[in-house]
Amino acid sequence: MSVAPPDSKQVPSAAPSPAPEKVGILVIEANATTPLGPKIVFANETASTLTGYDLTSLIGSPLGLIYDHKDLPHLIRKLPIIAGQSDFCWMDRLLNRNGGIRIPVRWTIRPTQRAGDSARHFTLTFSPIPDSEESTPDREEQQAPPRNPSRIAETEETSSKEDLDFEESRSESLALAAGGVAHDFKNALQTIKSNLEMAHAIVRSQEKLQTYLHDAQNALFDAETLAKQMLAFTKGDSVSRCIFDVSDCLKRVSHLCTAGTRVRCRLQISPGLLPVEGDPNRIYQVLHNLVINACQAMPNGGPLQLAAVTTQFPEGPNNFSVPPGSYTVISVKDRGCGIPEDQLPHIFDKQFTTKEDGNGLGLASCQAIIRQHGGVIRAASREGVGTEFLIFLPSTDAPLPESPSKPRLQAVSKIPEKRSPGGGKILVVEDQKGVSKATCGMLSHLGYDSLVAETGEQALHLYKRMLDSTTPFDLVLLDMTLPGGLDGEEVLRELQRIDSSVTVIATSGYFEDGPTHSLIEMGFAGVLAKPYSMDSLAITVDQALQNRD
């Protein structure tokens, strides 16, 4: 007996169907390879009309571009159940149209599969729900108030709801954009990381060059952190809490954010500084924002003071309106232009900015992050004198973990020694030329020969041609987000048809460090999240080849 997912309803064969000309049709992948769900591989003209996106924008985009974000994780979790059903399911959910408009539509979904094969795709249809049929099947029906007497109030309420929907939709669009930017950013980071590691391997004996490369790798770590934060934002991840030392964040920000400026940074860390509990990356984000603002307030240079001390506030009122308790207090103090007195009370307001090209999100975001950590942020300023921001974070007596996740200020990735040639032959499937060139360089250093294919079709042609030669490929390094044509999963399936013993490692800028069970179940021999180090590449390739043998 087939099981319909909760919050969905099984449609009997006699159920009325919407008019064909008003039905949008989509085909999506069976597995989600992006943070916003499976990619769309087909869309009809009606889908384009109903969503407001042209077909070139729809095809290749994740389903989350148009599907109700609140229900998307639930739908993704239920795809394996739907894949085993012979009938189709339907649900009433919102459609996110281009431009921020959200309309209720009726969706249907069913697996698309070959006989005896597991579902490789799903077919979805959607059509607008007429006003008379609008309903929320997940909630108990409520008696509607009389329409005529409350028409004005009803209109105002509807308008308010539309405003909220628009703001939510705009945030979702921003999340979608951030996910794509983070993915492309990680591809750029992969090229930087690979070349830095190769340079380290070449100039081991040149101390001065090692120093420059060391500083570049520290900046690279910052960029990696930013990309991870952007991907976390697209998934709506909550704060990841741990016990950490804020002095590490201050050391990083003092060095990296003032480099190349005339700002003179002075760092003061009080002895016996207590740790705090929270997300060190989020706190670093706050400090980064404040230090950048301070540097911009001193375009001709000047002193910047960063300090941290542990302070106990007793019961009763205090000058900072901070609840009683133990706090780690961070000070960011500049001697810049200052903030006008009439503007100071509004600096944490959303969309308030004094910069011509500012968006007003910086300080509002800082305040939100500090509040998430149970703390408060205060500001004092005087025009022509300077500005000081004080951050009060609840401190803890808990010990720091033995292996804390600290910024790698003095930790450079271990570079494997160069091996003798003949380690094997690897096909690198990658559309970004900078990434493929750098990856081949690392593979050569590790003793492997390699060839590059920029598309899935090229990869299949090369693999099949070399399979019949005396030097077939030992392994395929496959990027999962190839533009146009075949995607990563489709390339894997075709390779398996060509050679049932093929060994394939998946790579992507959408991947993050964590469980990879679903990809291993697909048939991949390993997973590499960009940007990966040469050490990670060596270990993953070695393990895949050993398991094959």
CATH architecture of 24-131: 2-Layer Sandwich (3.30)
Residues 438-467 have a mean pLDDT of 90
Cβ–Cβ under 8 Å, residues 13 and 108: no
**pLDDT category, 240, cuts 50, 70, 90?**
low
**H or E segment and range at residue 267:** strand 263-269
DSSP letter for each residue of 169-208? HHHHHHHHHHHHHHHHHHHHHHHHHHHHHHHHHH-TT-HH
Name the token pair of 369: 């992050």
CA-nearest of 274, 222, 276 to 253 is 222
The string of pLDDT tens digits covering residues 147-162 is 333 332 333 333 344 4
Instruction: Return contacts of 121-125, CB within 8 angstroms, 24+ apart.
Output: 121/27, 121/28, 121/29, 121/30, 121/41, 122/27, 122/28, 122/30, 122/38, 122/79, 122/82, 122/83, 123/25, 123/26, 123/27, 124/25, 124/26, 124/27, 124/28, 124/63, 125/23, 125/24, 125/25, 125/26
Instruction: Name the pLDDT band for 312 (thresholds 50, 70, 90).
Output: very high
The residue with greater pLDDT, 79 or 499, is 499
Domain ranges of the chain: 24-131, 172-235, 246-394, 425-548
Q: Please report the pLDDT score of residue 351 as a whole number.
A: 63
* Residue with more model confidence, 548 or 276: 276
CATH architecture for the domain at 425-548: 3-Layer(aba) Sandwich (3.40)
Predicted local confidence at residue 208, as pLDDT: 58
Matching residue, tokens 């649900």:
91
Question: According to the model, what pLDDT value does residue 130 have?
Answer: 74
Q: Is 12 or 427 the better-scoring residue by pLDDT?
A: 427
For residues 164-187, average pLDDT: 50
pTM equals 0.42
Query: Within 10 A of 246 (CB to CB), how many other CB atoms are there?
Result: 24
Average pLDDT score over residue span 372-379: 93
Query: What pLDDT sits at residue 182?
Result: 53
Q: What average pLDDT does this structure show over 247-267?
A: 80
CA distance linking residue 233 with residue 531, whole number of Å: 19
Whether the predicted pLDDT of 67 surpasses 70: yes
Place of tokens 């339907």: 90
Instruction: Pull the structure tokens for residue 246.
Output: 């804020």
CA distance 241 to 398: 13
Burial 106-134 (b: 16+ CB within 10 A, else e): bbbbbbeeeeeeebbbbebbbbbbeeeee
**H-type alpha helices, 449-533:** 456-467, 488-498, 517-522
Quick one: CATH architecture of 246-394? 2-Layer Sandwich (3.30)
Q: Give the per-residue pLDDT at 260.
A: 59
CA distance 194 to 387: 41
pLDDT tens figures, 178-220:
555 555 566 667 767 777 777 766 666 566 566 656 666 666 6
- Which of 403-417, 436-450, 509-523 is the least confident region? 403-417
Query: What confidence category does residue 452 fall into, taking pLDDT thresholds of 50, 70 and 90?
Result: very high
pLDDT tens column, 491-505 = 999 999 999 999 999
Nearest by Cα to 424 from 317, 295, 541: 541
- As a whole number of angstroms, the distance between CA 287 and CA 306 comes to 10
pLDDT at 41 over 80: yes
